[in-house]
Amino acid sequence: MIDKLFFISLILIFLILYCYVKVESFENTTIPQTTQPVQILPTQPQLPISLQLTTEIARLLNISPRRISNIIFDGDITSGKLLVSFFIQEPNFTESLKREKNAADAGLIANNLLINDNFIVSIGGQVVKLAKLTNPTPTATETSDFFNNKGLLDVAKYSNNKYISVPNDESLTNFYKLDVDDNFNLIPKI
C-alpha cells in the first residue's frame, strides 16, 4: 500500500513539474514591437577632449602626439573657440629618425598659427579655433592635482572650515562597543 502511494505521489510530482515547465516556457512568447526608429550608435566611443586636442595639435604641427604635454585648455567647444596652453617636448631617437621638427621649430610654428588665428582643429566633429591661454598656471586654492571641479572644491572648503570650527568634546566621540559576556552574548558598552 505504501509503495503504491509513494509511486502515485512521485508521478503526481513529475506531472506537476512538467506542467509548470510547459506553462513557463509559453508564458512570454510575444516580442514587443517598437515604433521608434533605431538609433545607430557610433562604433568608436567618444574620446576625451584633452586627447582629441593633443592629437589635433600634433597633427597640425606634424609631430608625434607623445611630444605634446602639460596641455591646459579653457572654454567651450560649442562656442568654437578654446584657450590652450601646452608644452612641446624634444623628439626621441625614433622621432628624430622620422625627421620630426625639434621643440623650438615646432614652437615657432605653433606661435605663428596662434598669432595668425590659423590654429583650427576638429574636436568631436566641431571646428574649433585655438587661442593662447595667457595664465596657464591655476592657483592652488582653485584646483587639485586630480580634478578641477570648483563646486566640489567649494564644498570641501566649507566642510573643512565647519569641521575646524566645531569644538572637540570627548563625550561626543564616545561610541558603543560590543563586548562578550560570560554566556557569549554580545552586549553594548560605552
Instruction: Kindly report the average pLDDT of the chain as a whole number.
Output: 78
Q: Where are the domains of the chain?
A: 49-132
**pLDDT tens digits for 101-115?**
899 999 999 999 989
Lowest mean pLDDT among 10-14, 26-30, 122-126, 147-151: 26-30
Task: Round to whole Å and give the CA distance between 145 and 14.
Answer: 66
**pLDDT tens digits for 131-166?**
988 865 554 444 445 566 777 777 787 777 766 655
Q: What are phi and psi for residue 132, nearest 5 degrees?
A: -80, 130
User: What is the pLDDT at residue 150?
Assistant: 73
Angle of helix 103-115 relative to helix 49-61, nearest 10 degrees, comes to: 100
Radius of gyration for the chain, computed over Cα atoms and rounded to the nearest angstrom: 34
Distances (CA, A) of 113 to 55, 56, 89, 108: 16, 13, 18, 9
Say if CB 160 and CB 153 are below 8 A apart.
no
DSSP 28: T
User: What is the pLDDT at residue 96?
Assistant: 86
Q: What are phi and psi for residue 161, nearest 5 degrees?
A: -65, -40
